[in-house]
Amino acid sequence: MGHVALLNKFDFDDICISVKCSDVPLTMEAYRLLSSETDYPLHLGVTEAGTPSMGLVKSAMGIGGLLCMGIGDTIRVTLTADPVEEIYAAKKILKAAGLRKEGVNLIACPTCGRTRIDLIPMAEEVERRLASCTKNITVAVMGCAVNGPGEAAAADIGIAGGKGEGLIFRKGEILYKVPQEQLVDKLLEEIERL
């Protein structure tokens, strides 16, 4: 707060404060304390977070955790990657924290013994094909028709796999059955109608 006091001494108060570091717990504690001491806007980030695999986890924990506590005004995700990836990550963190309404919230099951489709590449394809969708909807990609529609009943629209076929469902209610190879395309058609 010494730097803030110096700026205030010269009647300069058009500032945003950042106390980022690469240690997630330390970053969170610093921002928590700072937010109780000042009303200035806080710029959140976990600096030098690392490669996408680790950096995304650190940023989601640090930035997302603070945002969920109501702390923070601006964010920056730093990754050892193409800067465009930082923007995608920031948007996903904001979406997960409930602060970004634009864009799809994709949910997918972790797979189990009932999974009858190649779920992982299917979920990745759905995510890729919906990357530019701006609708504020939840889309489910579930591995089985037994539990899928019920477990994902809160989803606006979803698919659930079966043996060689799958279901298209909306809010837990089954709409129709289609061959497995048509699942993703039919899902996207239904999303267009929403």
**Statement: residue 30 has pLDDT above 90:** yes
The first and second tokens of residue 109, run together, are 């099951």
Residue 169 — φ and ψ, nearest 5°? -135, 155
Query: pTM for the complete prediction?
Result: 0.85
pLDDT at 34 over 90: yes
Three-class SS of residue 97? coil
Residue positions counted in the chain: 194
Query: Residue 31 in contact with residue 70, Cβ under 8 Å?
Result: no
What is the homologous superfamily of the domain 105-193 according to CATH?
Sulfite Reductase Hemoprotein, domain 1 (3.30.413.10)
Please tell me the predicted confidence (pLDDT) of residue 113: 84
Q: Where are the domains of the chain?
A: 2-96, 105-193
Q: Express each pLDDT in 177-194 by its tens digit.
A: 999 999 999 999 999 999
Angle at 71 between CA 66 and CA 74, to 5 degrees: 95
